[in-house]
Structure 1
Amino acid sequence: MRHHHAYLWLGHGDVLVRPGDAHRRPNHPEFRTAQVMPLECADWLLKPASRIAGTFYEPGDAARWYAGRLAEYGELFDGAYAVTPSYGETVRVLSAGEDRVGGWWVSGGRFLSVSLIACSPHRVRPVYGCPLRETP
């Protein structure tokens, strides 16, 4: 059954580019343990299941989680920098089996990544298995 896994990362921007970005690629030995977000959104599915912040089978529930995280971290955005997608647009995107991904530089030289990644199957990487065991 198609669903979306939620992922969140907030960290100092230097971690994203320490030197280079190899640790954000699946073929790097540190990839699975690196706390930073991967370069390709679908690669979240290759991280340990413990990184999943939530699993949603209904697009509306996932869209509420996404909007809630943006509201929760809203004070970190500098000025009007944050572009917040509408709830309806997020539901539409998720209903189509797509990902909803946002990444923003926020105060203190940090980067905030909020992601809903489609699973079972992923449109771009259908060979990626679900990081959680599927239940019938």
Structure 2
Amino acid sequence: MHWHTYLWSGDGQQLKSEAPRRPAPEAGFRTSTMPPMMTGWWLLKPPSLISSTLSAPDETIAWLQSHYEESPPPPVQAEQLPLKARAEYAAEALTGGSDVVWAYWQQEAGPRFVHLAAVCCPNRVWPAIPCPVDEIRGV
């Protein structure tokens, strides 16, 4: 078991467009960098969108925390769900083989949205989706 990490940030209003976020070929899903509607669907996206592949929960939490600290939410949001609480939940979820997503508006009055995802692979919710890295290697 390992985790592929993904980072997307941009105009959160773009997320209203669901078509490119669903794995329908005609919708441009594979070419869209936007987060998919279902977390496990990240594994269907091109491997070039993978930020890192990590083999331990603590490494994965460190990745999440690092990117969270680089692009934090506004103080009011950060106080509502402190980083320590996020990390504790992530540790439990990752150890159990689950995905973790930290998604938030970066500006209180602005459109910038940050989406950090750690997707478990193989994915227990989407077991038929192959590892994108193994596909490249021909495994």
TM range (shorter): 0.7 to 0.9
RMSD over equivalenced CA pairs, Å: 1.8
The alpha carbon displacement at 1:15 in A equals: 1.4
**Is 1:60 paired with 2:62?**
no
Bigger helix fraction: 2
Query: Structure 2 CA distance, aligned partners of 1:124 and 1:42?
Result: 7
Partner residue, 2:131: 130
Task: Describe how 1:1-136 pairs up with structure 2 within 5 A.
Answer: 2-17=1-16, 20-29=17-26, 30-74=28-72, 77-82=73-78, 83=81, 84=83, 85-107=85-107, 108-120=110-122, 122-133=123-134
Cα deviation 1:38-57 (Å, max 9, x = unaligned): 01100000000000001111
Stretches (4+) displaced over 6 A: none
Q: Cα deviation per residue 1:79-101 (whole Å; 9 max; x = unaligned)?
A: 32133334343222111100111
Aligned residues: 130
TM-score of the superposed pair, with normalisation by structure 1: 0.87
Structure 1: unaligned runs, 5 residues or longer:
none
